[in-house]
Each structure stands twice: as structure tokens, then as C-alpha cells.
Structure 1
Amino acid sequence: MTIAGNIYGVVLNDAPEREALAAQFDDKPYAKPPVAPVVYMKPLASIAHGPVAVPDGGLTAATTLAVLIARDTRGVSADEANNCIGAVALALDLSVTSDSYYRPAVAQKNADDRLALGGFTDLRVPPSIRLLADGTCIHEWSLDRLVRPVATLIADLGAFMTLKAGDVLLVGLPGDAPTVTGGAILRVEADGIPPLEVAMREIAA
């Protein structure tokens, strides 16, 4: 499978995270909870092809499902959305930890080696995704936590933007994703999907 387009992700699609942030949504600058999916982009240059350099303070390691789009999604219904999916893969979205989603610095989300992708396979939405560090599970989350399940998310995005064939969509990030430091071997696992493994290395002083 080839990524011939853009990589998009959504935040605030994790129900427990939205519940935890509910009071903040009433404050400035938000004023109210988001009513549409909150979208960000990861450049192709951010895809990791080897060990990931980890800065002081570590990186937030958020596991997710990457969906490879097979046909344009403009105006599709949730029932039609599955026909737009060509394949899925496990992904690890790495970012500098921040306590706010409001206008984060680009470097917090996007830099070299800030996205690890596993091998794509036929459509299968796993019940949960696990993150292991040196063989020990440090995080697991159920995709039942998604506010917008995959098909609904694709349809809601298609109401105002077109995902094109070759684009990749990261379907949501767990709000309780752990922080990882250099030196560990991370492995992302989910039933029925090829695992993803990436080495984390400390930045030399």
C-alpha cells in the first residue's frame, strides 16, 4: 500500500478525554465544545524510518489506527464510508507533551520521526490497541472510546472536506497516552493487524 496523499489526524475523539476537558470547553478561547471533528496534519516527512530521537522530557506516545483511503469521501454517509477504506495499519503518533490543544506550536506535533506506521492490511477495526515498552504493556485503550467511530468520522469529515484516494486518516488519540523516554523499544499491537515496533533513542548531549 502506498501513501500517495496527505496524512490527517483528529484530536478530541476520545470520550474520556472530552469528559475530562468539559469544563475547559466553556472557557476562552473555546467558549463551547467542538461540534465538528478537530483535524490536524502530519507531513510525510514526519514518518519514522528508523530509531526515533527523544528530547529531554520525553514524548507523548499515542497509539491509533491509520486508515488508508481508497476513494474520495466527499458527501458519503456513514453506511457508505467503509467502502472508502482500502486498508488499515497501526500507528504511533509522537508529540511533545502539551496541556492545551489551542494553537499548539507546530514543533509539538510535527517534526522528523514523529509518526510511526505499521504494515497495512485489509479492513479490520480491532477491539483495542496495546503499547508495550521493552515487553511490558504500558497502555491499552479500546476503540469503543471513540466519540465518532471510524465510519461516522469519515462521513462527518466528508461533510466539509474531501479525503482523497491515497490519503491516510488517524482516527483519534487516547487522552491518557503515556510519556516515553529514550532507550526503550516500543511495540504497538492489536488483534488481527501487523504489529509495529520502533526504537526510542536519547538525543546525545
Structure 2
Amino acid sequence: MLIVIDYDAGNTANVLRALEKIGVRAELSADPEKVLSATGLILPGVGAYPAAMAELEKRGLVSVIKEAVAKGTPLLGICLGMQILTEKGLEHEETQGLGFIPGVCRAIPASKDRPVPHMGWNSLQLEQETALTAGLSGQDVYFVHSYFTDVPKEYIDVTADYGLQIPAMIHKDKVFGAQFHPEKSGDVGLGILEKFVALCQ
């Protein structure tokens, strides 16, 4: 069973609906046993890095997610869920993240031409191929975010140009992140979710 991790960080209904569209039955849960027995995990997220980490801690899920990943369960973080895959975030205050992917989550520098939040459709540029990136080069996906993951190049799979090269997808081993919202990105986004589901099987 695919588990969408429930930690009150928004957007879970849209993620479950998108999975339903591709014929996948997933469950929204914060139950440690279900998280540990899942075939794959999706960590969605809308909101702030410190609040997300505090809620995961409060629910006792940080160590559970780390245990699941350590035993090889694939994990996909979406938007804020991708940002907290890093070692730390600098939103409001310095906060320790899940630490699966080396790097820091930083504010996007605002400018007259590039307002923050970075919101709307943006084209993708392929940096390296992974199980999730086939056919993504030049495709448009939907972003809403004010922070970006500043991670070493070897972990960056796809970027989007927003005055700086925003890491749009990152990964290390079986931990994947999408800064944009696959569940709001039409057929392109559904295709990414399908590839992730295939990876979990």
C-alpha cells in the first residue's frame, strides 16, 4: 500500500485524487506501523519548513520515516515535502530537516522581474536521468514556492529557470523530491506519479 503521510501540511486531498486518477489506491496516514509497512511513501506539503518539521516530530514520524527509508522504501517529497528532505531550512529560523539529501533550503532572491513566490507554470530542463525523469525536458509544470533547495549538483535531476536555476527535482538513492506540484501539473505530473508508483512495485 502506498501511504501519503498525514502531518497537516496541506494538499493531501489533491495528491490522493491524482493517484486515484492513475488507478492507484493510497491511504492518508500518520500511523507508524502503516508508514513502516508501506510499499512507497509520499510526503506532500504546503506551508513553512519549521512548522512541517515540528508537526512531524510531534507525531513521532521523523524517526519512522528515517527507518522506512533506511530499509529501502521509496519516498517522494512534494513542494515543502521536497524541501524538508534537506539537512536544514532557513525559513523564519534555522531548522533541522530530515537530512536525506545534503543541502540547505534557502529563500529565492526576489527581483522586479522575478517576484516571490515563484508561482505558475515553468518549463523543465533535464540535468540527469532518473527513474522519474523520462520525457520531462521542455515540459511545463506548476510551481508555488518562495524557497529553493540549494543542493550539490549530483543530486539535481531537473531544473527550472527563474533568474537562478531552481532545482525542480532532486534525488538520492530511493528518496526523490519534486519542487513543483505533480498533482496540479496535468498529464505531465500524473506521468511522474505513475513512474513513482512503478518504482514502488
Same fold at TM > 0.5: no
Report the TM-score, using the length of structure 1 for normalisation. 0.30
Report the TM-score, using the length of structure 2 for normalisation. 0.30
Q: Which protein has greater RCO, CA pairs closer than 8 Å, 6+ apart? A: 1
- Larger Rg computed on CA atoms: 1
The answer to which structure has the higher helix fraction is 2
